[in-house]
A and B are shown apart, each in its own frame.
Chain A
Amino acid sequence: MTTLLYNHPVCAEHDMGHGHPECPDRLKAILAALKHPEFAHLQWREAPEATLEQLTRVHPARYVERILAAVPRHGLHALDGDTALSPRSGEAALRAAGAACAAVDAIMAGEANNAFCAVRPPGHHAEPSRAMGFCLFNNVAIGAAHARAAHGLERAAVIDFDVHHGNGTQAAFETQPAYMYISSHQSPLYPGTGRRSERGVGNIVNVPMPPYSGSEDLREAWTTFMEPALRGFQPNFIFISAGFDAHRLDPLAELNFTEEDYAWLTREILDLAAEFCAGRVVSTLEGGYNLQALAASTAVHVRALMDAA
């Protein structure tokens, strides 16, 4: 079967200003890596814009309207000290969220086993009514909500290995037992949430890791907390918030993961996906700010998706 790659050129036109770490070059570095002949069997698809119906499963309609109305014709519009809109940001954000939904549809139609969404802006910090931390719409939560609403799946799980806690995804799902959110992240670090005691309705599993944690700590976190939780939940669809900023070369954090760790973790997730949900996995890009490490880590992540497909 097939691994799909969702992308759209407009995702590289969302630009939060000179020197901003969440920059268009991130996507360019990833796409350059995925154009290597090794990835010739990836099936590239254009990310469509999410519909209002898809977005409003997570965000109130007035929030969506407010974000889109704030998109400037020229220059930048700052939403907070970290997050800004440029003229193409609205379309980029709609396509970043739409990619996850389209990937779900394609997989449910039997066109592929799994998909990677090479999109930006990222999403996991976006709360239902608040843009923050470089995020506008919560792409992964919108995808997970779509899987349930449009395809009648009972349980959707999100695994988030970005170095920052996905406060937005947690906020979207913490009262809904049909979703499980599992996050490994550095603590303390932005946004300050993600304590182990934050458990939602028993469906939130936070695994905070102290600075300088590395490969062995990740394996222990997976084996002790993440895998048992996922196994107990028995998901019908698995989503991945794929941030690669826990890499040892990333400038915005202090964890010490390597490319091999990302390959290993992806394979572990895919093994469980094969066991519980016929391998149905949609992974969507979150953070990762060292371009070389980001491209290399994404490449091994996508390689693992292709090997499982």
Chain B
Amino acid sequence: MYEFLGCKVKDAMTVSPITATPDTPLGTLEQLFEAHDFNGIPVLDRQGRLVGLVTKFDLLKAFILTTDSPAPRYTDIINLPASSVMTTNPETVSPDLPLSRLLQQLVEMRTKSFPVVENDRLVGIISREDVLKALHRTTISP
């Protein structure tokens, strides 16, 4: 009955997630968010190292009213690179982290997803939805 406590991040994460580069335009990220049901896109450099995470919130922030312009210049903004809005050095988790601890972190940090990193390589991404699915799988009898 405590099967969930035996789960690790690697049992519930999405492997080989879609990624972006620091140069990926915000317009492309917008299309990815529209086409896929995820909250954050890991950003990898040319060597494949994780350098950032762009969330839907980061993308929205790019379009707010600022003191620079009376109206957001939408066409200029969608051509900005991912590096201009991404969260650099995002919090990451290990694939071997117990899922119960990951759940704790998601709640305490109000985060929607974490990149999963092993030996400096991105191996997956884990989200609120993934944890909910694992809870469903391990606590509700078929």
Interface on A for B, CB 8 Å cutoff? 21, 81-82, 125, 133-134, 164, 188-192, 252-254, 287, 289
* A-chain residues with CB within 8 Å of residue B76 when the two chains form the complex: 81
- Besides the known contacts A188-B67, A190-B65, A192-B67, 16 further A-B residue pairs in the complex with CB atoms under 8 A apart: A81-B69, A81-B73, A81-B76, A82-B70, A82-B71, A82-B73, A125-B70, A164-B70, A188-B66, A189-B65, A190-B66, A190-B68, A191-B70, A252-B71, A253-B65, A254-B65
Contact flags (1/0) for B21-55 with A, using CB distance below 8 Å? 00000000000000000000000000000000000
Alpha-carbon gap, A287 to B69, bound state (A):
14
Which of B70, B71, B73 gathers most chain A CB within 10 Å?
Answer: B70
Interface on B for A, CB 8 Å cutoff? 65-71, 73, 76
24 contacts between A and B (CB under 8 A): A21-B71, A81-B73, A81-B76, A82-B69, A82-B70, A82-B71, A125-B70, A133-B70, A134-B70, A164-B70, A188-B66, A189-B65, A190-B65, A190-B66, A190-B68, A190-B69, A191-B67, A191-B70, A192-B67, A252-B70, A252-B71, A253-B65, A254-B65, A287-B70
* A-chain residues with CB within 8 Å of residue B71 when the two chains form the complex: 21, 82, 252, 289
Chain B contact residues, majority secondary structure = loop
Alpha-carbon gap, A191 to B68, bound state (A):
6
Alpha-carbon gap, A188 to B69, bound state (A):
12
* B-chain residues with CB within 8 Å of residue A21 when the two chains form the complex: 70-71
Alpha-carbon gap, A133 to B65, bound state (A):
13
Residue of A nearest to B67 (CB): A192
* B-chain residues with CB within 8 Å of residue A188 when the two chains form the complex: 66-67
Contact A189 B73 (CB under 8 A): no
* A-chain residues with CB within 8 Å of residue B73 when the two chains form the complex: 81-82
Residue of A nearest to B70 (CB): A190
* B-chain residues with CB within 8 Å of residue A134 when the two chains form the complex: 70
Residue of B nearest to A191 (CB): B67
Residue of A nearest to B68 (CB): A190
What 10 A-B pairs have minimum CB-CB distances, sorted nearest first? A192-B67, A190-B70, A21-B71, A133-B70, A81-B73, A82-B69, A190-B67, A252-B71, A188-B67, A82-B70
